[in-house]
A and B are shown apart, each in its own frame.
Chain A
């Protein structure tokens, strides 16, 4: 990173002001505004069809917003064609030129800048070393592996020293192992080059692992922008709560709305308490949606066969309920148990692989406990449909 970045940490590489884009009746991007600080890794995460690709193509210049403005380093680029914008894009399928060698691919952009032959050679050598492929210059594109292609595609852009690098789900075509590896590598490359990355994906893990900031996009709008931790721990909308990470979701009615916590009863009669996540205060009998993450629930095996039917609050901070294991969904570190709480609300609970729960089996009675503050309560959104990641 150049010293410039440190001296002015609040300068923004990319700013969008009230961007709108519609295709006929379909609104792809709906009044989106955001700012990306210099040198950060910014992801836009959303389900397919949420408008993230359209937004990225507008940043690259392939599409024009119906209204709004885009600034790069403080300059509006609205009327700058793609080949003049100080941004470069890594395409979904990389778009490496198959008729050229690796070196020619990298040289393509340099030539357009009128850089001399010798300087081109030096820059190509340098960038190939930085991506750890020093000998790839004379190779044809079809001689490269998937991961190598990925790195060449990024190098081809970064050698031009763009202000912003746009990445359109470039890991989508890779197999799982390679994808895990490339996540780390991409983050590493971004730190080495110090370039601002705008990365779009529908894979939350990619976004959470690599990003400094993530924007959750749904139906053309940004639902929430924040650090991965903020999005995970303090989701501001039910969509974010359900889209980022897994959640158990119940709909219910507020029974008491005094103090910090809400008491509510779910449609099937489960009584529990939770932390209101909306800014608007809840009143009694308001409809409420409660989310609790499977990994926030502790599981306690019960040796005697309890006859208690519903959950009982016994301490101030703990929600507790009893149930029977319906199924064990073993998936290594992501293993879960499915518990029937006898009041009709099935719950997904993470099964920590610490060795304490190896004896659990189907049909066992268990007690489930979780901190009331980890149960987040939202008002139901009017139009937003819950994404498919929702477990219940």
Chain B
């Protein structure tokens, strides 16, 4: 990019910020992550063991990329984007640096996930991501009032008029595409075909619009809508469903027939990170089975740490079993890396859905 002025002004601001924060930076890990991925008890235990304090900034996929893009990869020492959002962001904006796999204690990590992530986060022959937390998105259903909902397209059931919610984001497009019998992941590399699939989805979503009470944007807002009974079925993350299930047995997460969408959040190093050794220490620390279990408790999702399931409480395990049969687990559609340019196409579809009435 040619934004030379931008570079200068941002550099100045960053320099000032660094200067201000310098005195407390004895050894600090600035972590850009999701809510629940760095619980307080883990942070304090980590500090006790290593003397490194962790400063957490809560974020999401898009926000992480935007933040790192704005500073060209500075300001944080460790980020946790989803595995499918790494290689394209790296190609476009050069915001990460490769991971030195020799510094990772790979024995702690489930081999298949480690391997899958290694492949999907590869850019120019280098690895950019290590798996951390995984989960799915699918349906949260109030079985009493919307028991019939078994797949994404069931949200368009006229009986659920005005009591359905989902996000106007790419997972919705992908989920509906699968439920409509398409395979959007297979069409990732063929933009024309992908466009055609999305056009179909767009039609369905516009037709379905009268069923929607509101497009949710924050997880807490959705949980409130479900809890108050204003919404009976929604498209959301598994952990949210299980959280609601604790208070209300009628509500739970349902893996859709066409397959829950599986994601893996990773560890990735921002290009201008300043505390690499602290970052590797943190990765190796949180992937210990007993520590990983604590994170599962806080985040509601399982980790890629070997043997951590043994430390996880029975409720969550039971909830997981109820939502996922072995068949459903096999049926999970794992996000492949998103090629650059797809967001553009998806964005316009989402705009048109929102504008339609």
A and B touch in the complex (CB under 8 A): no
- What is A's interface to B at a CB cutoff of 8 Å? none
